[in-house]
Amino acid sequence: MNPLTKVKLINELNEREVQLGVADEVSWHSQYKDSAWIFLGGLPFELTEGDIISVFSQYGEIVHINLVRDKKTGKSKGFCFLCYEDQRSTILAVDNFNGIKIKGRTIRVDHVSDYRAPKDSETQRL
């Protein structure tokens, strides 16, 4: 599925839940209640971990970040996995950051259910 289509679908789902007054316990977010990880896609390639933390820390304390980079060049591949200290922050981040533009690029923000941080040095524990 096209990443921008996924952005649109997530935003529509959130809007429908608000209109229907869906309780937190039955929201689509509840299936991710055991994971404090989110996926960020479509990021501008020049963003650093510090830039991403500056933006996404608005909704909670970030404890891990894995900005995926090309192994040969070290350049960002434009996507990232981020872990909040509190899982409730993931809902705020997905609801408020999905579909925003950063440096002219529409980013996708979504929950991740079974992410395991790599054991190598590319993941930063904060």
> SS3 letters for 67-87?
EEECCCCCCEEEEEEEEECCC
pLDDT digits (tens, 9 = 90+) for 78-108: 999 999 999 999 999 999 999 999 999 999 9
Q: Looking at residue 89, what is its pLDDT?
A: 95
How sure is the predictor about 122, in pLDDT bands with cuts at 50, 70 and 90?
A: low
Tokens of 77: 């591949």
Domain range annotation of the chain: 3-9+35-113
Q: Rounded mean pLDDT of 107-113?
A: 94
Q: What is the amino acid identity at position 114?
A: D
**Please, where are the H alpha helices in the chain?**
3-20, 49-56, 88-97
Answer whether 87's CB lies under 8 Å from 36's CB: yes
Query: What CATH number matches the domain at 3-9+35-113, 3.30.70.330, 3.40.50.1780, 3.30.565.10, 3.20.20.70?
Result: 3.30.70.330
Q: What is the amino acid identity at position 6?
A: K
- CA-based nearest residue to 40, from 101, 96, 107: 107
Q: Is the pLDDT of residue 126 over 90?
A: no
3-state secondary structure of 10: helix
3-state secondary structure of 81: strand
Q: Is the pLDDT of residue 125 over 80?
A: no
Tokens of 46: 């020049």
pLDDT digits (tens, 9 = 90+) for 5-64: 877 888 788 788 788 787 777 687 788 888 999 999 999 999 999 999 999 999 999 999
Q: Which residue has the higher pLDDT, 125 or 76?
A: 76
